[in-house]
Amino acid sequence: MSETPATSDKTEYNRLWWHSRRGMLELDNLLIPFVEEAYRDLNADDQARYKKLLSCEDNDMFDWFMQRSRPQDADLQRIVDLILNRVQPD
């Protein structure tokens, strides 16, 4: 039995949702709402950046979101900025 595009999209979304659960409350409070409310509206490049972010270490992400440091990678910096701008609009 093959997956339909809708089933495949739902499976991918569920995978992203679970990978967005980090076990660190501060990260969960940023990433879960972002994936639920904003991820699907991102363009393909920004969706890829979000997936790349999920492969990073929790401690690094925590420092980036607390603005203690910045990612060296411009793609990661862009997605961190997008997420922060959702919770800290100018």
Confidence label for 81 from pLDDT (cuts 50, 70 and 90): very high
Q: Would you state the pLDDT for residue 79?
A: 98
Q: Residue 63: is it exposed, middle or buried by C-beta count within 10 angstroms (0-12/13-18/19+)?
A: middle
Question: Residues 15-70: pLDDT tens digits?
Answer: 999 999 999 999 999 999 999 999 999 999 999 999 999 999 999 999 999 999 99
Q: Would you state the pLDDT for residue 2?
A: 61
Contact 74, 80 (CB under 8 A): no
Q: Would you state the pLDDT for residue 45?
A: 98
Contact 75, 55 (CB under 8 A): no
